[in-house]
Amino acid sequence: MKRREFVRLASVGVIAPEMLRAVEEGRPSGERAPLAWPGYEQAFVVDALAGPMQFNIPQGALPLGDEALDHISSSGITAVNLTVNARAGVDGSAFDNTRARIATWARELVANPATLVGVRSVADLRDAKASQKLGLILGFQDAVPIEDDLGRIEEFYELGVRIVQLTYNVVNKIGSGCLAADDGGLSELGVEVVDCLDERRVLIDLSHCGPRTTLDGIRASRRPVSLTHSGCRAVFDHPRSKDDATLRLLAENGGVVGIYLMPFLNPSGPPSAAHVLAHIEHALDVCGEDHVGIGSDQGIVPLDVGGDFTARFEEVSRQRTAAGIAAPREDTIPYVPDLNHPRRLETIADHMSARGHASRVIEKVLGANFMRLFEEVWG
Q: Which residues share a beta bridge with 258?
A: 293
Q: Which residues contact 73 (CB under 8 A, 6 or more apart)?
A: 4, 8, 115, 132
pLDDT in tens, 109-168: 999 999 999 999 999 999 999 999 999 999 999 999 999 999 999 999 999 999 999 999
Q: What angle do CA 349, 353, 359 make, to 5 degrees?
A: 85
Tens digit of each residue's pLDDT (9 = 90 or more) over 218-261: 999 999 999 999 999 999 999 999 999 999 999 999 999 999 99
pLDDT for 21 beyond 70: no
CATH 3.40.30.10 fits 3-8+38-378, yes or no: no
Q: What is the pLDDT of residues 60-98, one digit of tens each?
A: 678 999 999 999 999 999 999 999 999 998 678 999 999
What is the domain partition of the chain in residue ranges?
3-8+38-378
Cα dist. 107→28, 62, 96, 121 in Å?
Answer: 48, 10, 17, 20
pLDDT above 70 covers a percentage of the chain that reads 89
Q: What are phi and psi of 92, to 5 degrees?
A: 155, 175
What DSSP assignment string belongs to 193-215?
HHHHHHHHTPEEE-TTB-HHHHH
